[in-house]
Amino acid sequence: MLNEFSNNTISLFLQKKKKKGSFFNFSLTTFSPNGKLLQIEHALKAVESGATSLGIKASNGVVIVTEKKLPTTLIDENSVKKIQKLNDGIGVIYSGLGPDYRVLISKARKKSQQYFKQYNEIIPVNIISRKVAGIMQEFTQSGGVRPFGVSLLVAGYDHNGPQLFQVDPSGSFWAWKATAIGKNSSNSKKFLEKRYKPDMEIEDAINTAILTLKEGFEGEMDEFNIEVGVITNDKKFRILEPEEVKDYISELNL
């Protein structure tokens, strides 16, 4: 009888120890019979229906721009900042689910600071892109989580010069000379293919980027519904003020 009693208490104790959600320690992203990971395909669809973002790598810098279409005029547009800095020398923009983006930025910033703590050097662009891609891949192969519904464009300037990387929900990443993600990405990319020149300077690149964004823009484009981020050889990523953006837009309208 003593054994029964102790067995019961032990099993009760073990039950109490079970954490919530420990039922899901298998991956939700599983292969389909034709070799695809459907969750990732769906995540890419979520990206494709997100707001357009594009980036261009010039010979002396990188520019990233995005649409900031807010659902109603009641939203305070100053509080919405889509382009974010990972550290002084690297900026990021996304297409897809905003909340997923915020979480990724937070993780990426932490990784970049860990690198700085170790080496007292700003993390190179290809290394941080690889680390972020690694995080995104983890979420395609872990228990109880779903892939991130964002693609990122990472722009930076380090010892290898200006660089622009795209990171996808699958965890793949690669470098671009110029690209667009989100809605209208294929049209924008065709436009960029015609306009891109390898020896383009940054001013030219900013104009081309805003022009490309305008092509697919629904409605009137002004300095409050787009965001522009630039990094040149001073290695400091800057998000342009609305007044500066206004100047570029008015130049294009002439």
Partner 1 sequence: MAGKNCVAIAGDTRFGVRNQTVALDSNRIFKINNRTLFGMTGLNTDILTLRESFKFQMNLYNLEEEREISPKTFAHNVAQTLYSKRFGPYFITPIIAGLEGEDYTPFLCATDLIGAMEFPKSFVVAGTGEESLMGVCETFYKENMEPDELFEVISQCLLAAVDRDALSGWGSVVHVLTKDGITTKRLRTRKD
Q: Which stretch binds partner 1 (CB under 8 A): 3-11, 18-26, 117-125, 217-225?
A: 117-125
Q: Which is nearer to partner 1, 17 or 159 (CB)?
A: 159
Least distance between partner 1 and beta carbon 130 (Å)? 8
Find the binder of partner 1 among 3, 30, 120, 253 (CB under 8 A). 120
Q: Does 117 bind partner 1 (CB under 8 A)?
A: yes
Q: Does 174 bind partner 1 (CB under 8 A)?
A: no
Least distance between partner 1 and beta carbon 140 (Å)? 22
Contact between 40 and 51 (Cβ < 8 Å) = no
Q: Which stretch binds partner 1 (CB under 8 A): 111-119, 163-171, 207-215, 236-244?
A: 111-119
Least distance between partner 1 and beta carbon 90 (Å)? 15
Find the binder of partner 1 among 19, 119, 219, 254 (CB under 8 A). 119
Q: Does 38 bind partner 1 (CB under 8 A)?
A: no
Least distance between partner 1 and beta carbon 134 (Å)? 12
Q: Which is nearer to partner 1, 9 or 233 (CB)?
A: 233
Q: Does 121 bind partner 1 (CB under 8 A)?
A: yes
Q: What is the 3-state secondary structure (H, E, C) of 194-250?
A: HHCCCCCCHHHHHHHHHHHHHHCCCCCCCCCCEEEEEEECCCCCEECCHHHHHHHHH
Give the other-Cβ count within 10 Å of 87's Cβ.
Answer: 17
The CA-CA-CA angle for residues 158, 86, 161, to 5°, reads: 15
Q: Does 134 bind partner 1 (CB under 8 A)?
A: no
With CB under 8 A, what is the number of residues at the site for partner 1? 9
Residue type, 184: N
Q: Does 10 bind partner 1 (CB under 8 A)?
A: no
Least distance between partner 1 and beta carbon 121 (Å)? 5
Find the binder of partner 1 among 16, 17, 18, 159 (CB under 8 A). 159
Q: How many residues does the chain have?
A: 254
Least distance between partner 1 and beta carbon 144 (Å)? 30
- As given in the structure block, the two tokens for residue 51 are 């707001």
Q: Does 124 bind partner 1 (CB under 8 A)?
A: yes
- List residues near partner 1 by CB under 8 A: 117-121, 124, 127, 130, 159
